[in-house]
Chain A
Amino acid sequence: MAGLELKDIRKSYGNVEVIKGVDLSIAHGEFVVFVGPSGCGKSTLLRMIAGLEDITGGDIHIGDRLVNDVEPRDRGVAMVFQSYALYPHMTVYDNVGFALKLAKTDKQVRDKKIREVAQVLQMEELLDRKPAQLSGGQRQRVAIGRAIVREPEVFLFDEPLSNLDAALRVDMRMELSRLHADLGATMIYVTHDQVEAMTLADKIVVLDNGIVQQIGSPLELYNRPANLFVAGFIGSPKMNILPVDVLETAENTITIAGTTIEKTTLPCASASIQAGSGLTLGLRPQAFVADPEGVLKGKVELVERLGHETIIRIRLKDETTVTAALVGQSDLEPGDMASLGFKPEEAHLFNASGERI
């Protein structure tokens, strides 16, 4: 097992640069999730680590070894593909044992390892079947088995759960978590699903447009998003974004107001903010409370009652909408006027270029 080090990794297709200098260090045994919208470069980055994609610039180290020009098969990585990529003409047994066979592993050792893996993944009864005779979840298991059996230094997962139905996805997610704990292996996981990222990761790398937006633990990203992109991407329902103006600043506080939000004072330590400048206020739906004295007022458009919380969407007077997740069961109905307040310490402020203040 080994860690991983990426230094100024770049990738271009012709004149188009899709990965624009990624620096990242992954410790041995860490579970790292690359997350971002479609086309942000997360899969490309993973494939560059695997060796399936050439790198245009930078260095990749796996353990102590520079692997830029090392063939995929010699990198000590195993990958689980979104499509599972099982060999259709082979049984599960042969699929799992294929790499060992190519490595000319002794037949008895091979058999033992395959059966061990089958036991770990609870698929012993599937060994004689062909991939076409398996369900999506079973195929996924075989694909993971094929990766485990090689005892790689690094596991790579390319959106492995996206072809499964919702319930199975939750099960497999837990299983992956357990597997990571059992194997203690370094795992890199690509997804566009932020719930997967939040639940699985030790460390999340948020990518957009080929640039790392933020690296941190799930809660760091949630509590202190580095910029508006991360703020909007992490958390569900999405963070509400409102333009505000700075009315006055004091030591450790600023007072703001906007067209839709009444005057309110927030804690803020930044000395660089001038009164009169424009900022962006980010409020997570969970930060809101129903408060008759609240600073946000609007008409309720939509009510979703989930039992433990009530999600409401209200339309403010400038026609923008705000989503709030109120704790417990609310008796608000569509058409009602709602007044919302929020805890000042849960407000996020961003400057004109979208960076966190």
Chain B
Amino acid sequence: MNAKLQSLLARALIVILMGVTLLPFLSMFSAALAPSGTYPYGLQWPSDPQWINFVKAFEVANMGQLLLSSTLIVVGVVPVSVLVSTMAGYGLAKLTSDKYKWLYLIFVAGLTLPFEAVITPLYYEVRALGLLNTRFAIILPLIGLYMPFSVYWMRAHFLNVPKDLTEAAQLDGATRWGEFWRVQVPLARPAIMSLSILLFLWTWNQFLLPVVLVRDPMQRTMAGALGAFQGQWGTDVPLLCAGSLMILAPTIILFLLFQRQFVAALMQGAVKG
């Protein structure tokens, strides 16, 4: 096979793959434009596109309030998780000897824990704390649940920072704390950035936790609110599709804005397991 044909084949495969990826979105989009209350028939461009469905969905689902709620939850989860895991990752990578390896193993063990397995005890714990039906019922457990991965991620980064830099900073007169803030954190920026993006995505798309721990849809994440939305408008498929697309929009916008960092984050995952 000559090179030109090979490259053509590769391109064709990519186009097919792209089509497969985009198909659900397109189908959702076409359904969202169908007349409210009807049952759209797969991928089919409606004869009379109902753009008003988006406005309706926005109003009915109180999308503005949901956006605010999601943002509040993200703001509550991501910075704290990143800060704590960066410090823990640094500590585990640079400050502990082999004697304390078990500390790290506890975090790794957390990675094996399926999310769904802890949801029932979590419910009782959150209830005991008196946080049920508040946003903290989502924020605090999420911070905890993200720790194993985040610490693992940051530790992997810090392990790769040459020991010489730490020693040079020590000789230059830096305390551990000074070295962490002035040398390690600036160098960890790519890792922190990619971790932030991943945590944002996971928090934004969080569904199970909000549905179980928070009754009021307005206190949930957007994706979590989708559950209530579906219950209320279960029969109105076009409206549901319009709502879903709007919930997706912020992540898509973010993706377009931070495309490069997204790819870097995924690549990093590929290399570091």
Contact of A73 among B165, B174, B182, B189 (CB under 8 A): B174
- Map CB proximity to B onto A325-349 as digits: 1 under 8 Å, 0 otherwise: 0000000000000000000000000
The reply to whether A52 and B170 contact each other, CB–CB distance below 8 Å, is yes
Category for how many chain A residues contact B: 20 to 34
- Is residue B168 within 8 Å, beta carbon to beta carbon, of the partner chain? yes
Q: How many Å lie between the Cα of A98 and that of B171 in the bound state?
A: 11
Q: Is the interface of B mostly helix, strand, loop or mixed?
A: helix
Q: Which of A55-85 contact B (CB under 8 A)?
A: 71-73, 77-79, 81-83, 85
Q: How many Å lie between the Cα of A78 and that of B168 in the bound state?
A: 9
- Is residue A103 within 8 Å, beta carbon to beta carbon, of the partner chain? yes
Residues of B within 8 A of A98 (CB): 169, 172, 182
Residues of B within 8 A of A89 (CB): 186-187, 189
Q: How many Å lie between the Cα of A73 and that of B168 in the bound state?
A: 10
Known: A83-B164, A87-B165. A50 touches B171 (CB 8 A): yes
Q: How many Å lie between the Cα of A89 and that of B167 in the bound state?
A: 16
User: Closest residue of chain B to A78, judged by CB?
Assistant: B171
Interface hub of A51, A73, A86, A150 (most chain B Cβ within 10 A): A73
A215 to chain B, nearest CB (A): 26
Contact of B164 among A73, A78, A81, A103 (CB under 8 A): A81
Q: How many Å lie between the Cα of A82 and that of B171 in the bound state?
A: 15
The reply to whether A73 and B183 contact each other, CB–CB distance below 8 Å, is no
Residues of B within 8 A of A73 (CB): 170-175
The reply to whether A77 and B171 contact each other, CB–CB distance below 8 Å, is yes
Q: How many Å lie between the Cα of A72 and that of B173 in the bound state?
A: 8
- Is residue B231 within 8 Å, beta carbon to beta carbon, of the partner chain? no
Q: How many Å lie between the Cα of A150 and that of B174 in the bound state?
A: 13
Q: How many Å lie between the Cα of A36 and that of B171 in the bound state?
A: 25
Q: Which of B151-204 contact A (CB under 8 A)?
A: 162, 164-165, 167-175, 178, 182-183, 186-187, 189
Name 8 interchain pairs, CB-CB below 8 A, sorted by A. A50-B171, A51-B170, A52-B171, A73-B173, A87-B168, A98-B182, A99-B172, A102-B182
**Chain B positions near chain A (C-beta within 8 angstroms):** 162, 164-165, 167-175, 178, 182-183, 186-187, 189
